[in-house]
Every structure is written in structure tokens, then in C-alpha cells.
């Protein structure tokens, strides 16, 4: 009997076309699911007859409570080499091998700039006005050249964002708890003395930190109050790093000029959620890693992970 492989949350119906799945022909039945399962009960029922599951980034949590309800599951493939929503210890205890894939830092860095530029120049507002026959020019854009870009985190993605800021003629500074002067100098940016100094002195702040217990809720009401009223905040990293209620309050009260957000506490974002209609907010549905080349890498290496597992030599094992 052929093994069965579920491909979760294939929203765009492209998982089986952006990569070559033919190495699994005759051995594995691949079943994409284009819709999101909103509860653990739904997931457990949908995946009961699958031996392999491919999940994209951190869209679907796999806690111990779900893994014990999937006795047939033997291989779980997640895109990326780090995943905070899969209980790796529980997977090992259940006899489930968890593998990852490579991931490019280019797409999220590019989306960061798409959000920043769109906010700074009023692209969405002006474009919608033009299409609707509204006024010819109604906003005055914010300049980038000579302004300060503050980066929370200077890893692979933050470093890419920094280099683009420098190319725009911006002053770029960065801060994180582990950031060294050597790393800042390598990228060509200034190392801020503290997070507070970075927030208060920046015209644009972009978040590029990994989510951990130290960074969860890092930007709350007190920290957001340090931003200039003319400043913009961009978050393409993880929603939980920025207190969502505090951000909504800052936007409603006009404490910041605007925010660009690609990540949310609950995804997909429920209908009627205040983040859908907040003023001064440009929100996108977690598109940071969603690009054709990245998808080809994710799903192509997912196939490699399955083939290697079937050969008894799993690769890119997590945990």
C-alpha cells in the first residue's frame, strides 16, 4: 500500500507545481490541502490517514496533544531549519522524524522594503484614490535619504535590510542583546547603545529578531511611546515581539505615523479582527517568505527529505 503525504495550507494551489514531485511517483500519494484547518480536532481528523505531512513555516502548530492523535504519522517536514510550533521532544517520543529545508533571507527582506516604501510614500492610499477618481495627490511622502533606520536585529535578514538602507543614503543603526560592534562594523552600521536609544532616535524602525522568551512582548506600550510621532514601525518577523494591543492603541491615538505588519498573533487573521481596519496600518497576510523561488526551494527539498527518509537516511533532521 502506498504511503500518503498531506501538504498543508497550500493557499495558492502551487505546492505540486513549483517543484518536481516525480521521485515519489508510485510510492507516495501526495494530497495538497488549500484551506487552513482552524482547530486541533479538524487537523487530527484530516490527517488521521497520512504517514507524512509537509507543513509550511509555522502556519500549523504540532503540539504533543496533536501528535499523540496521529499514530500513523512517521515523517513531518517543515520549511526552514527552525520551527517554534512543533514540539520536537513529543515528536521524538511518538516516533516521528522531523526534517526541515533551507530558506532564503531575500524574500522577507524585500517585503520589508515594500512595506516601508509603501508607507513612506502613501502608495496604497494614492493608488486607491487614483483608481476611484479621487484627488490628484493628497499625501506628502516621507523622505528616506538622510533619515535614520533603526533595526532590531542584525542577522541574515536584518543585514540585508541594512545594506538597502545604506544604498538609499540613510543613517542605519542596529541593536539586539547579542549584537557585537564587530558585526555592526561588518555590515557598515552603527551599534546603538540601547534599544531605547534606537527607538527614540529612529525615523523608521524594523523588527528582525527571532522569537524567544527574551523577545516576546519586547515592544510594549512604554517602548512604542519612545518612537517619534513621525516614525514608522515595520514588523515582518514575529507578531509576539510587538504587543498587538499596544500597537493598535498607538495607531489609533496617532502616537506613530504608521506601521507595516506582515505577522499576527492569530493566522489566518479572523474576519472582523481590529488589525484588519486599524488606522495608519498597512497589513499583509504573512507574505514575507512567499515567493516563487522560496516555494520552489521549500517544496523541492521537502521531496528530498521524503526520499531520504524512505531510503532510511533522513536529512536536515530538526531537534
For this structure, is 286 an active site residue?
A: yes
- List Cβ neighbours of 235 (8 Å cut-off, separation of 6 or more): 206, 207, 241, 242, 259, 260, 261, 262, 263
Q: What are phi and psi of 275, to 5 degrees?
A: -70, -15
Spot the catalytic one: 57, 208, 238, 297: 238
Expressed in percent and rounded to 5, the helix, strand and coil fractions of the chain are 35, 15, 50
Q: What are phi and psi of 78, to 5 degrees?
A: -120, 135
Spot the catalytic one: 40, 125, 267, 304: 267
The three three-digit cell numbers of residue 245, written as one number: 494591543
Q: What are residue 75's DSSP bridge partners?
A: 52, 97
- List Cβ neighbours of 52 (8 Å cut-off, separation of 6 or more): 3, 4, 5, 6, 28, 73, 74, 75, 76, 77, 306, 309
For this structure, is 238 an active site residue?
A: yes
What is the length of the chain? 319
Helices (H), the chain: 40-46, 64-67, 88-93, 106-120, 123-131, 156-167, 181-187, 195-201, 221-224, 244-252, 292-310
Q: What are phi and psi of 260, to 5 degrees?
A: -115, 120
Cβ contact 220:246 at 8 Å: yes
Residue 242 DSSP class: B
The three three-digit cell numbers of residue 282, written as one number: 498597512
CA pair distance 65, 127, nearest whole angstrom: 47
> Residue 139: which H helix or E strand, with range?
none
Spot the catalytic one: 191, 208, 286, 297: 286
Cβ-count burial 186-200 (b if 16+ within 10 Å, e if not): ebebbbbeebeebbb
Instruction: Supply the residues annotated as catalytic.
Output: 238, 267, 286
Amino acid at each position: 500500500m502506498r504511503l500518503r503525504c498531506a501538504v498543508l495550507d497550500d493557499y495558492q494551489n502551487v505546492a505540486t507545481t513549483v517543484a518536481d514531485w516525480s521521485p515519489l511517483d508510485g510510492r507516495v500519494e501526495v494530497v495538497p490541502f488549500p484551506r487552513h484547518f482552524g482547530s486541533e480536532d479538524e487537523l487530527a481528523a484530516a490527517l488521521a490517514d497520512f504517514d507524512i505531512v509537509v507543513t509550511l513555516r509555522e502556519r500549523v502548530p504540532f503540539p504533543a496533544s496533536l501528535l499523540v492523535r496521529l499514530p500513523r504519522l512517521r515523517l513531518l517536514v517543515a520549511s526552514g531549519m527552525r520551527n517554534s510550533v512543533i514540539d520536537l521532544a513529543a515528536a521524538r517520543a511518538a516516533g516521528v522524524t522531523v526534517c526541515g529545508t533551507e530558506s532564503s533571507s531575500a524574500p522577507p527582506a524585500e517585503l520589508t522594503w515594500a512595506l516601508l516604501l509603501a508607507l513612506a510614500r502613501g502608495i496604497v492610499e494614492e493608488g486607491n484614490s487614483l483608481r476611484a477618481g479621487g484627488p490628484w495627490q493628497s499625501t506628502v511622502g516621507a523622505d528616506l535619504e538622510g533619515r535614520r533606520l533603526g533595526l532590531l536585529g542584525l542577522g541574515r535578514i536584518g543585514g540585508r535590510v541594512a545594506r538597502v538602507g545604506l544604498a538609499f543614503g540613510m543613517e542605519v543603526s542596529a541593536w539586539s542583546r547579542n549584537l557585537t560592534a564587530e558585526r555592526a562594523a561588518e555590515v557598515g552600521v552603527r551599534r546603538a547603545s540601547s534599544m531605547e536609544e534606537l527607538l527614540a532616535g529612529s525615523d523608521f524602525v524594523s523588527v528582525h529578531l527571532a522569537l524567544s522568551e527574551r523577545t516576546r512582548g519586547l515592544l510594549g506600550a512604554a517602548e512604542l511611546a519612545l518612537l517619534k510621532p513621525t516614525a514608522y514601525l515595520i514588523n515582518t518577523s514575529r507578531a509576539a515581539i510587538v504587543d498587538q494591543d499596544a500597537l493598535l492603541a498607538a495607531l489609533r491615538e496617532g502616537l506613530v505615523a504608521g506601521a507595516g505588519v506582515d505577522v499576527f498573533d492569530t493566522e489566518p487573521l479572523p474576519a472582523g479582527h481590529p488589525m484588519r481596519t486599524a488606522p495608519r496600518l498597512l497589513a499583509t497576510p504573512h507574505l514575507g517568505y512567499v515567493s516563487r523561488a522560496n516555494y520552489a526551494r521549500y517544496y523541492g527539498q521537502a521531496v528530498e527529505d521524503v526520499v531520504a527518509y524512505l531510503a532510511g537516511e533522513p536529512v536536515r533532521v530538526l531537534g
